[in-house]
Amino acid sequence: MARPSILMSMFFVVSLLFVTSVLSRAIPNQTIELDKLSRIQAQLEKINKHVVKTINSPDGDVIDCVLFHDQPAFDLPELKDQKTTLKLPEWPMGYNSSEDTTTKVESIQLWSASGEECPEGTVPILRTRKEDLLRVSNITRFEQKSIQDRTDLHSYATVFVRGDEYYGARTSLNVWAPRTYPTEFSLAQMWLVSGTYEAKDLNTIEVGWQVYPQKYGSYNPRLFGYWTRDAYQTSGCYNTQCPGFVQTNQRIALGAAVTPISSYNGKQFEIDLLVSKDPNTGNWWLIYGSGLLIGYWPSSLFTGLKRHAEKLQFGGEIVNSRVNEHTTTQMGSGHFAEEGFGKAAYFKNLNLVNSFNEFIPIPVTNLELTVDHPNCYDLSLLSNNNFGTHFYYGGPGRSPKCP
């Protein structure tokens, strides 16, 4: 009769060991998951501010109207005491701005297409949600460029000017929705640059449109801004997701989707962007169209750009995360520059602001090109009376021509 008892005891011991083994694996995983959710919640509370009004966009975005001084920028100690009444920037000479900078313009974003805007005294901030943080590998760097963004896995089709002191840049660029691999991005932007990546003193202000599904959770092109002062190492962020950019406009929000979009062999939709350094405050203002102020990057954010830019760059960029073959992520319209107007993406009327605060065209002869994968994405630089200094750019990514 002793034999069954022994067997039962052995069975109990084995079962206990199995359960203990399972729990030892499950509890740490559960702890890790709870810890991640706790960090996500803390990050959301840090980014998202007290809401006065909520606007639900047709594309699923949520726009929070927050009091001007509750926006993330004013978490910066040096900005806490800034007055609520902003002094308008001094316009560059030769820039035809509207006298009334509060004039409403035709909506360029989905969330405000119905006429919605934030109440007086508040500004629109794209809400960051839990699912936005769950899509990224490092939630503490959610607002910054990822390691993938900062490696050599890029393709560029750009033009640039250097060798002088620059206090602003302006261009008009048409908007597309290029096909983009889920973990990659495709963008069109202008860069204002000081310092170098190698010396780790790179300062940049970057503005334009981008399709970045991993970041935004959709494939819509979005108006965006970015800044850094140390070559993307520890400083800087997208849009208003960290203390930095000061939003002033009630109807245009960085990070929100742009509408409408250009169509192949059809109507073209452009956005007109100017970044200009105010000679009185040193702040870098982002301006849409003929004088509609979106907001500014305070001079105190920067080192080199505290003085001026040393380089201006315009064009397209994609990130390629593929290892053995080129990505299928498109640049621009997904078509090569040779197809021209209505089919290829373009930048037109390239202008700069010089040291005398004069707004002047950039001559074609002053521009240099960066086209590092011409079989995948290319660029054609031109000049005429209608488009001024301009270029077509883009391409399909992986194709028979681009293996």
Chain segment 4-47, per-residue pLDDT in tens: 444 444 444 444 444 444 434 545 555 557 676 777 777 777 77
pLDDT at 133: 81
Tokens 């108006």 sit on residue: 223
In a domain, 306, yes or no: yes
Cα dist. 47→104, 229, 239, 279 in Å? 28, 21, 11, 31
Cα–Cα dist 66/152, whole Å: 38
Give me the DSSP letters along 22-75.
HHHHHHHHHHHHHHHHHHHHHHHHHH----SEEEE-TTS-EEEEEEGGGSGGGG
pLDDT at 139: 55
In a domain, 302, yes or no: yes
Cα–Cα dist 371/375, whole Å: 10
In a domain, 9, yes or no: no
Q: Tell me which residue of 308, 313, 291 sits closest to 354, measured CA to CA.
A: 308
CATH of the domain at 251: 2.60.120.1270
Cα–Cα dist 141/151, whole Å: 16
pLDDT at 372: 94
Euclidean distance between the first and the last CA atom of the chain, given in angstroms as a whole number:
75
pLDDT at 100: 44
In a domain, 319, yes or no: yes
pLDDT confidence band for 368 (50 / 70 / 90): very high
Domain range for 376 is 46-95+108-145+153-394
The tally of domains found in the chain comes to 1
Question: Each residue of 259-291: pLDDT tens digit?
Answer: 999 999 999 999 999 999 999 999 999 999 989
- For residues 395 and 331, is the Cβ–Cβ distance under 8 A? yes
pLDDT at 4: 45
Among 79-88, 229-238, 393-402, which stretch is predicted with the lowest mean pLDDT?
A: 79-88
In the predicted structure, residue 208 carries a pLDDT above the cut 80: yes
Range with top average pLDDT, 12-21, 112-121, 215-224: 215-224
Question: Each residue of 229-252: pLDDT tens digit?
Answer: 999 999 999 999 889 999 999 999
pLDDT at 190: 98
In a domain, 339, yes or no: yes
In a domain, 15, yes or no: no
pLDDT at 220: 97
Cα–Cα dist 81/70, whole Å: 12
In a domain, 24, yes or no: no
In the predicted structure, residue 336 carries a pLDDT above the cut 70: yes
pLDDT confidence band for 102 (50 / 70 / 90): very low
Kindly list the catalytic residues: 206, 317
What percent of the chain has pLDDT above 90?
69
pLDDT confidence band for 378 (50 / 70 / 90): very high
Bigger pLDDT: 345 vs 7: 345
Mean per-residue pLDDT, 40-57: 83
In the predicted structure, residue 101 carries a pLDDT above the cut 60: no
Average pLDDT over all residues of the chain = 87
In a domain, 30, yes or no: no
pLDDT at 31: 59
What percent of the chain has pLDDT above 70?
84
Half-sphere exposure of 317 (CA within 13 A, CB side): 22
Determine whether 35 is exposed, middle or buried from the number of CB atoms within 10 Å of its CB (0-12, 13-18, 19+).
Answer: exposed
